[in-house]
Structure 1
Amino acid sequence: MTAPAPSNPATRAPLPEFLDPADRSRLAASAAAADRSGRPDLDAVAVLRRTGLLGLAVPYAYGGAGADPVELNRHVAEVAALNGSAAIMLFQHYAVSSRIVEQGTPDQLADLLPRLASGEWLAASAWSETGAGADKRNLSTTGRRTEGGGWVLDGAKSFTTSAGLADVYLVLVRTGQAPVAGAAGTGYGAAGQTFFLVRGDNPGLVPDTSLPLAGMRGSATGFVSLRDCRVADTDRLGPAGEAAAIIARVRESGATLGAVALGLAQAALDCAHDHAVTRGLLAHQAVRHRLVDLATEVEAARAAVERAGRRDSADPGTTTLHSKLCATAAADRVMTGVEQILGSAGYAEAHPLNRYRRDARAVALMGPTNDLCRELVSTSWTR
């Protein structure tokens, strides 16, 4: 059962701006500080909780803004231009909120969505595992039923964003027979997998953010161990053994990690423009034209991200995959072009361009990774 649908986005007023100049300054400053320290960006999380941004994906009936995917992508890109780590935490929060809206029971909707909308709770996804593959087909984390009707989860998750900060985790585990080793697949996930919503204060869930990251250093991306983690059957999200079908619908939502790459590309372009103004380089036609070329890359990525959010193509899932590939490739080209404009100024260790490039590379490696995106798109051609 799902929540009531919000009013038609085409007939209602656009969402207000959530970030005032002080918030924007705070996000930018905390991004630089977290990149230096490698510690979770608590200041950024405080901004996300306070401003109302966490409630965008939650319907009006549960205290949220009822935003459509175009608006979600726009706000993720806006945050990414200031703080890539905050943007990826925000994106994952939206992803979990949307899955609860789509798959939650009436009790789950009433209990969880108001907390997610108000900023009281931050949500995170815990799907990836070392050795499981990018397509999450060979999970070793298991869930077994108890005599009392609950479940016990055991295993370990890797590259979980907001580890240790989240108040609820959407955890993917194997509750049925594991797939045959080496079996080919064209999807994301496998039969016999189930989602559970695990509270952050569950004593069986142990986060570890000691992993040193090259990019997204403030995102608290690390490991989550599940050790005799006991949950009720009412904490299960969706039917047992059918997580793969839920995962397949994620791409249909139009929300795309390409929005994070878009925001980072915009930030890099702004750096180049500011540098050109400060150094008087706009007097040179070659510099002006180079900036136009880079701006065109950013606008092309923006168009791909917006089209994914509109979900108006014949195959919205494939369009969403294309949007991630397009935006991350554009971000890489923009970073290279900006480096050429900045020259030696961009090679100072503290220059923000270096952070933007590392963060953009991290987006390409986030699930579904760019290589898996290519595989999912290519196999769709044979069906």
Structure 2
Amino acid sequence: MSLIRAEFCLKLDQFDLYADLTIPSSGITAIFGPSGCGKTTLLRCMAGLDRCDEGYFSINDTIWQDNKSFTLPHKRAIGYVFQEASLFPHLSVKQNLLYGQKRSKSTMALDEITQLLGLTDLLKRSTAKLSGGERQRVAIARALLCDPAILLMDEPLSALDRFSKEEILPYLDKLQKDLSIPIVYVTHDFSEIERLANQLIYMERGLVKAQGPLGELISNPALPLSTSPQAASVFDGKVVDIDAEYGLATLRVKGADIIVSKNYTELGSIHRFKVAAKDVGLCRNRATEGSSIINGPPARIIRIEQAGPFKMNILMKLGAEGDGEPLIARITRKSFDTLALKEGEQVHALIKGVALNGSDPSFTYPRED
């Protein structure tokens, strides 16, 4: 598989940025961390807007920076989407898009991009009459019409209200499915990452502390992501059974079949769903009757961490042998002591199907296989 390589060292006011990254050349890679940790600076280094004395950046076989050369930002095949759309107010939507396309001499089809982002009916409209979500979709389309090799997005939804965010999120998900352009996505809102990202880069004070598949990093008790009140595991599951009478569907992930309270209609379709750590209970022996909890897959305890004075985080791998997807549970210390749990033991993970009902768009939504 083709890869994006990035290595940057840059002295900043409060700390030094040091990043050594290998990023897949497809899908969405999210950069996350505390405010001021260097997320935007890292993105600017990739774009060539901040120049490092020591740096390397390449996409597939194209080197944009090494110790002998530096490709200027305007000569890099990069699409950059900022927090603010920064559209020309005196031009229509179509004129804004064509302006960016002409400057780059791109052959990317205008019709394809406008249909992908739902802009066809807005082309004649003045940008002054667009909603926040519509303006940002135009900004994304303008970046894509440059025919970029990579799309860099710097908190593109941070200036939007919740309604506008929900309007634009499905379009962002479609980008990775329909265009196969690698996207590096900076955000401070972890719900966006849970919904969109395939890979995650976690930063603190200019350092990349961890990088890898989203599911592995957000379930890792060694990282602060798993100790937050919103700690969760994220899965992409394939629909293998539909119970239309009860509005249920069975989604298969590595190591388990999980029943969700969602009336999907297409067998084989892929859907992402989130399991909050607080919604996972544990037992040693799975009851086959007399329980309202319909999910109780076997799992193997991988790691145990204390989460405050009275709670415990239990990291598991699904499957009797512990060879499936990671799952994290948060239980009381009393429950932990009562069960006398130990690393390496097999347990059953109790997950309420109703907790996975898709009422929040970040819980369940369609993905592409």
Structure number with greater Rg is 2
More strand by share: 2
TM-score, normalised by the number of residues in structure 2: 0.23
Q: TM-score, normalised by structure 1?
A: 0.23
